[in-house]
Amino acid sequence: MTLQHIDIVFQLIAFLFAISVHESAHAWMANRRGDPTARMLGRISLNPIKHIDPVGTLLLPAVAMYFHAPVIGWAKPTPVDPRNFKNPVLDDILTSVVGPISNFVVAIGAVLALALVKLVSPLGQQIISQGFATDTDSFLLPLCLLMYELMVINVVLGVFNLIPVPPLDGSHVVRHLLPARALRIYDTVGMFGLFLLVFWGGGLLGRLISPAIGFFNYILLRI
């Protein structure tokens, strides 16, 4: 198995972990804000089987990895009953944004792990500085590659889900600012807009995601 094949496996592992963290964060926050629906369905879990959506979790990431594109996708939506919230607007926003925030927390953790490897291991520093092109049989190479994929995929999912297109998490902030008539239109065209964004908005997604990945790369290389 080549390093490229190993990287594909790592991307899949990182993606499944990222969506599990993301959906668990939604379920955890909803429970904290008064809605136990997701908790009662076992959605506060890092088990990816609890969160798999056939299209968003399996098909779309597989297509992205096949074409060497950024791995994006989604999990089975976390069920939330806003009638259980004491403050429906605030609680809905908090429940929504905690998902992307959890992805950025994982990305920061991955960067810190890579930084630690750089600081304590000359070989690790060489591997990271050379963009994982180092010819070595050391376990540090796949370890660093896995940590890097964790960083990249969590940044991608964090940024992607903050885009204010229904039903992505960012839309839960915008929708509370709209009057009722505009909100109905916003929700109606949402899935169509998401479809266009995923399949024909590659340039826009790249312009949104690349700076975020570049920022994390800059931090990693400067440490």
Q: Supply the pLDDT for residue 135.
A: 82
23 is catalytic: yes
Q: Supply the pLDDT for residue 203.
A: 77
What's the number of domains the chain is made of?
Answer: 1
| Residue range(s) defining the domain that contains residue 85 | 3-222
Q: Supply the pLDDT for residue 202.
A: 65
Between 102 and 168, the higher pLDDT residue: 102
Q: Supply the pLDDT for residue 130.
A: 86
pLDDT tens digits, residue range 169-198? 999 889 888 888 888 888 887 767 777 776
Tell me the average pLDDT across 46-69.
85
Report if pTM > 0.85.
yes
Of 23, 35, 91, 92, the catalytic one is 23
Q: Supply the pLDDT for residue 90.
A: 96
| Percent of the chain whose pLDDT exceeds 70 | 97
* Phi-psi sector, 56: left (phi>0), alpha (psi -120 to 50), beta: alpha
Please, what is the average pLDDT of the chain? 89
pLDDT tens digits, residue range 84-137? 999 999 999 999 999 999 999 999 999 999 999 999 999 999 999 888 877 888
